[in-house]
Structure 1
Amino acid sequence: MLWGSSHGALELRTEGGATHLRATFPYGVETELAEGRLEVVAPRAFAGRIEAGEDIHLLSGHDYNKPLASRAAGTMQVSETDQALMIEATIDGSTSWARDFLAAHAAGLIRGLSPGFRVQNGGERIERRAKGLLRTVTAAALFEVSAVTRPAYPAAQIEARAWAVSERSEVVSTPGQSHPLNRWRL
């Protein structure tokens, strides 16, 4: 079963009891986070923590209480090119939240990939446009990448195949709108 676009993908495969995940988050793709609020992540914006070998987590739904893999645990590798952030991970299905994630993914409910990051001082450019603002993230500390039901960046969709038999960061709501997709990250 396949979901997604050619711009980004999250691939899961199960072989010999282990579930392997491969994901890409494309750079340079504009997305509308809320009406009049566009954002794009520039190539290699996450290089700082990646190149330093810092721990980065794969989470279910941005929940640190539901970890699926991490660099420190040796279950995840993170790299990047000028085109995309790339993740490879092995998911152990022995926790209840990992089983829940795998079941939701198999049912087609988890389709997106979403990075959790904090923009560094001087790590953004904001431009006025006729219909709003465009924020370009040029330097950000990447702490986690999450599998989610509705990604803010639609180009980072899930592609899946089952091969087995059996500094300061705030989230500000747009006035009058509390839905998470109607938020602007600062």
Structure 2
Amino acid sequence: MTQAQAALSTKWHAGLEKILVCKSYTYGTKRLCLGFSTRVQIIKNPVLALTERFPIWLTPPVAALSNVIVPVRHSTETSASRAQNNFTNGGFWHGARTALEQQRLDEHILSTLVVELTRQGVPTTLLAYPRHVLDAEYCADELYFLRARYGVSRSAFVAAHRALSNASLVHSALPLSPTSKPLPPP
């Protein structure tokens, strides 16, 4: 069994991610604390999308980054979701106090991240949320490069995705249909 196949049999969080906490980073230093290696690392931390955090992972050389995967959804839905949680975990962050402030902040963070990734030449994959959680075939097709790198067939990926994803953990104001196509912005 390959490392990728073993990982596919592990229960994951809602977004199919593992979390890496960066304990050695302190403000004012430019030392990298994210360990790059030939092993696959999936790091889920929205704080890394903030411009002030770029020095800990997106400072040249970025050759160790094989791809950055960014789940995206319309900013009105993201800000509405955060507004429901207000100032608790999953709520407003990075200084936002209203849904509109959060929407503008999220749009700025995403556009700045995509521009910097493009400027640095980092391959970037955008995944439509929640479709990448609900639609195994879509996710398998969008992550073809990762499947090829680790020798995971499309059918094995789809089977593992269906077995491990948990739609009950998805929060969305849009209808949750695995075959739904992207909707136009509200």
| Range class of TM-score, shorter chain | under 0.3
Structure in which a larger fraction of residues adopt strand: 1
Structure in which a larger fraction of residues adopt helix: 2
Higher relative contact order (CA 8 A, sep 6+): 1
TM superposition score normalised by structure 1:
0.25
TM superposition score normalised by structure 2:
0.25
